[in-house]
Structure 1
Amino acid sequence: MSVLVLVETEEGRVSLVSREALSFARSLGAGDLHAVVVGPASESVVTDCRGAGVAVVHEASDPALERYAAAAWAAVVEAAGRAARADLVVAGGTGRGNEVLAHVAARRGLRMAANVVSVESLNPLVVQRQVVGGAALERATVPSRVRLLTMAGHAVEPTAADSPGEARVSPLPVTVDPQDLRAQVVRLEKRESADTSGLQAAKVVVGAGRGAGGPDGFAAVDALAERLGGAVGVSRVVTSLGWRPHHEQVGQTGSRIAPDLYLACGISGSIQHWAGCASSRTIIAVNTDADAPMVTKADYAVIGDMHEVLPAVLEELG
């Protein structure tokens, strides 16, 4: 049995979610581990794959693939699957990972399980996956001969293999069908202020919601985040009201975080917000409502006004 992982890259390296997907796939102990990269596989990407235990890196470097097109990427994954004789294809649960494998499933008439957090058995493939925005887990069976799944972000820690893989680069001959390029990314625009990497990588996140009271209610939140060497995260209502920029939003339509500590202040804890913070190792809720969902789900809770609690914490920290 062999497993193929769709590897996404970020600034010339394997992205965090793809490193998690490689670790996840390797943990299954299913046999040879293969990776497929759309675009030239840089030495840094190959090094990352080698450390993850990848045997073969299938490289599709056709210039027509320079711009992201889900259907074209799906064709690449299909070709790599054939070359690897893959029984299982895994991708990170990103927008691209989910979209590409959904295309593969539709093209091949296969079934796909999205947002998987664990695998109970390989034959048949039985998985636990997140549903309802991460608020519940579903046990599902994927009966296809070739099984497709995407791994929920931060379901596992990215770890190095006990023994490095060969990571032999194998050029993948793919003829890109013009029909597969009908819908593609034509331009990327990045705001200087829209960097979410700090939030997603932070070990400590101080979050605030409607309880902040307004755009002027974040002074203690900002101060505590800075004091702890962390980042600020907010709920959707805060960005909808224009109190804080969207790139700070945590949730299903914002960033998914997995810090060591998430301090959620004045956040009720909707299903959508919980989907973005559920992977946090420790959650402390500060809220005046003892029955708020965030309070009931948190590891620890302080029932009180964030505008009184946070200044007291800052004073204690000195």
Structure 2
Amino acid sequence: MILVLVETDASGAIEVSREALTFARSLGDAGGGIPVDAVVVGDVADALRDQLATYGVRTVHRVTGDAFTSYAGAAWAAAVQEARRQAGSVVVMAAGTPRGNEVIAHVAAREGVAMAANVLSFGGLAPFVVTRQVVGGAALEEMRLDERPAVFTVAGHAVEAQPAPARADAALVDCAPAVSESDLVARVVSTEEPEPDLSGSLRSARVVIGAGRGAGSADGFKDLLELTDLLGGSLGVSRVVTSLGWRPHHEQVGQTGSRISPDLYIPCGISGAIQHWAGCSSAKSILAINTDAEAPMVTKATYAVIGDLHEVVPAINEEIRRRQG
């Protein structure tokens, strides 16, 4: 049995959790039809249950109770461990989100097994071998998971979320884990909404426009923001931009910011230091705009335009507007 921790929002299972379910289903198929179960913390509405059924989930383990009114990583791990016991799962996994990585790390510690984070693919099943991102995504590593349960997280956009060929039952069962006071020592006590993102979530954006020191100043983002709007994307910036106070920290891409996996990343005026590359290396295509033809970002990019972003970006915007009529 394969058990997947599914994170949700107001619209249902978040995209990276649906990707994790797709990954789990392919793993189950490779193993001869191993069923996939899901564990969800919180109420399971009919719409969510229906959505999980379309992704091939056999059973949904619903976790509710006073201990789960706010997020606590250790308590969620207790829930996942109890759901694993109920299902008899030999694989436990989640999307490689901040919560997914924390909870699955707790589960691995409780089970006394190794954990693989940010897995991209799997190889043989006997032994079970996975390929994962390491060194901030700058390198790949093959890792054998000999112990059971096999415990890992899936890197964002490692696979495309795809409904199952055939709908499953998604039978609903309640999961009542034993939660101790120590499981609740570290927990969320309040939340604050971030400053509005011009075009939605940076982590899930399919197009990201990047901006670095080449923007020149806090007033140098007008054309970049217009390009972001024209392409329906999100703006992401380098660490120097946030350090200088030109843009808010929640827009930062890199080792100490967001890790993105868009279909297209357009870094403008970003040299491409390893810390920034750690956050954007999973982009499917990169179009770098930079005055330095030898900049690391340019040499690693799929395509590059050598020029001043303040000349190149307005020209791109004008052409897009012309084609849009």
With the shorter chain as reference, the TM-score category is over 0.9
Give ranges in structure 2 of 5+ residues lacking alignment: none
Is 1:160 the counterpart of 2:159? The answer is no
Check conservation: 1:235, 1:251, Cα contact below 8 A: yes
Alpha-carbon distance between aligned partners in 1 of 2:234 and 2:196, rounded to the nearest angstrom: 14
Secondary structure of 1:244's partner? coil
Checking the alignment, whether the CA contact within 8 Å between 2:137 and 2:282 is kept in structure 1 is no
Offset, 1:136: 0.7
Out of 189, 194, 209, the position equivalent to 1:191 is 194
Partner of residue 123, structure 2: 120
Counterparts of 2:255 and 2:102 in 1: how far apart (Å)?
Answer: 16
Select 2:221's aligned residue among 206, 218, 222: 218
Mapping 1:236-251, distance limit 5 Å: 236-251=239-254
CA distance, structure 2, for counterparts of residue 22 and residue 258 of structure 1: 18
2:183 maps to which of 165, 180, 183: 180
Q: Which residue of 2 aligns with 1:315?
A: 318
Secondary structure in 2 aligned to 1:199? coil
Asked if the contact 1:132/1:271 (under 8 Å) is kept, the reply is: no
Indicate which of 85, 90, 111 corresponds to 1:87: 90
Cα offsets for 1:264-306 (capped at 9, x unmatched): 1111112232232223222100111112111111110111111
Q: Which runs of 5+ in 1 are unaligned?
A: none
* TM score, norm. by length of structure 2: 0.92
- Could you tell me how far 1:241 is from its partner in structure 2? 0.9
Q: Secondary structure at the match of 2:79?
A: helix
Deviates more, 1:71-80 or 1:171-180: 171-180
Q: CA RMSD in A?
A: 1.7
Tell me the secondary structure at the aligned position of residue 103 of structure 1. helix
Are 1:134 and 1:271, in contact at CA under 8 Å, matched by a contact in 2?
A: no
* 8 Å Cα contact 2:197-2:234 kept in structure 1: no
For residues 2-58 of structure 1, what are the alpha-carbon distances to aligned partners after superposition, in whole Å with 9 as ceiling and x for unaligned?
100011111251111111111111111230100011122222221221111000001
For 2:4, what is the secondary structure of its paired residue? strand
Supply the distance in 2 between the matched residues of 1:44 and 1:273 (Cα, whole angstroms).
Answer: 38
Give the match for residue 36 of structure 2: 33
**Alpha-carbon distance between aligned partners in 2 of 1:195 and 1:140, rounded to the nearest angstrom:** 39
Q: For the residues of structure 2 that align with 1:80 and 1:310, how far apart are their CA atoms? A: 51
Residue aligning to 2:137: 134
SS at match of 2:203: helix
Does structure 2 conserve the Cα–Cα contact (< 8 Å) formed by 1:62 and 1:174? no
Alignment counterpart, residue 269 of structure 1, candidates 258, 272, 297: 272
The separation in 2 between residues aligned to 1:308 and 1:194, in whole angstroms, is 25
State how far apart, in whole Å, the 2-side matches of 1:196 and 1:257 are: 15
Partner of 2:202, secondary structure, is: helix
Per the alignment, in what secondary structure is the counterpart of residue 110 of structure 1? coil
Aligned length: 317
- Choose 268-277 or 289-298, whichever is displaced more: 268-277
8 Å CA contact 1:207, 1:262 repeated in 2: yes
Change (3 A) 1:231 1:182: closer
Is this contact kept in 2: 1:196–1:255, CA < 8 A?
A: no
- Counterpart position of 1:5: 4
User: TM-score scaled to structure 1, two decimals?
Assistant: 0.94
Q: Deviations over 1:229-272 (max 9, x none)?
A: 33322112111111112222222333333333221111111223
